[in-house]
Amino acid sequence: MSQAAQFLARLRRNGRVHHSHARIAPLSGGVSSEIYLVEDGAEKFVVKRALAKLKVKDDWFADISRTVSEQKYFEYVGRMMPGVVPQLRFSDPEEACFGMEFLGDGFANWKQLLLAGDCRAEHAEQAGAILGEIHQRTYLDDALRKQFDTTENFHQLRVEPYLLTTGTRHPGLQQIFVAEARRIETTREALVHGDFSPKNILICDKRMVLLDCEVAWYGDPTFDVAFFLNHLFLKSLYHAPENFGMETMIAAFWRSYAQARANGDARVVERRLMPLLLMLLLARVDGKSPVEYLPSMKQQFIRDFVCKHLPSPPENLADMSDIWFTQELKSVSVGAPA
């Protein structure tokens, strides 16, 4: 019996599926879970189950209790901002799985849009507004700090594979990475999504939906901002020397994020952002989750860029964008696929 068929049989046993001709099909894209679309008669829904070993080249194990954080994030954010996350349908804790609304017809994965050159400033603006609102509305909330006390999970899935691993692979920069890891892990200020990346965002007309928040953590909001912007910088490098307006997207994202946090700590976030963004850039080349779409010449561009600027980072995002787009990206020509 295939893995999918076994999964369907378990769902049936647990009373989650009723129709005799119910169907199950894997959804693509995930590295940390089994995820399926289930069709049960006229009903469609998605089931997601956390895996103990992630599907990446390096050995990378993670505690499956992260599915609990994911469901809690969906519940909390869904109540606070309806429609921004999928609606939950059921939870089967003993299977480490849950069911949720299927976002099908009309929804596109943002990463696919970006790779295809569909790079719209209004999407970036919407993402900045959503993230800013989540951070702002959860800012300095003691109850949430207790509910999302998942620093250990965040360490396993973000700090160790991205920051500490990359640091060991660049001994000259290691101290900077270690100090940043310590700083992040001791900053507990807002509800962090933890995987706020275009591949985990679906878009349909005016609705934008966040998925995949297994790394949800009450911590440093700068992480989500840097993690997301990192993806936009990487996509601009992927497209170089073509230019699909990614610089405008970056500025639009930051503008709307900062506006949503006008009464909060947007300035503090921006100050922390530059070094972290540079570290995450390098992490996507030499960390445990390397980017799959950059040829080696472009990977080297990142190493050179980060080694040059990390010891003394640009002061703000506009300066960093200027250096990246106006000065250094110009040297990149089309590279052969990796």
Ligand X SMILES: Nc1ncnc2c1ncn2[C@@H]1O[C@H](COP(=O)(O)OP(=O)(O)O)[C@@H](O)[C@H]1O
Per CB under 6 A, 115 contacts ligand X: no
Establish if 48 lies at the interface with ligand X (CB under 6 A).
yes
Least Å distance, CB 283 to Mg ion, is 17
Nearer CB in complex with ligand X: 62/306: 62
Least Å distance, CB 73 to ligand X, is: 12
> Applying CB under 5 A, which part among 34-42, 177-185, 207-215, 273-281 lies near Mg ion?
207-215
Q: How many residues bind ligand X (CB under 6 A)?
A: 20
76 to 95: interface string for ligand X, x by CB under 6 A: ----------x---------
Measure the CA–CA gap between 317 and 321, rounded to whole angstroms.
6
Please, what is the minimum distance in Å from the beta carbon of residue 91 to ligand X? 14
Please report whether residue 34 would count as binding Mg ion according to CB under 5 A.
no
Q: Verify binding: residue 67, Mg ion, rule CB under 5 A.
A: no
Contact segment (CB under 5 A) with Mg ion among 106-114, 210-218, 299-307, 317-325 equals: 210-218
State the nearest-atom distance from the C-beta of 96 to ligand X, in Å: 12
Query: Among the candidate windows 29-37, 124-132, 146-154, 262-270, which touches ligand X by CB under 6 A?
Result: 29-37
Q: Pattern 198-237, binding to ligand X, x per CB under 6 A?
A: -xx----------xx-x-----------------------
Which is nearer to Mg ion, 256 or 289 (by Cβ)?
A: 289
Binding site for ligand X (CB under 6 A): 27, 29-33, 35, 46, 48, 86, 100-103, 109, 199-200, 211-212, 214
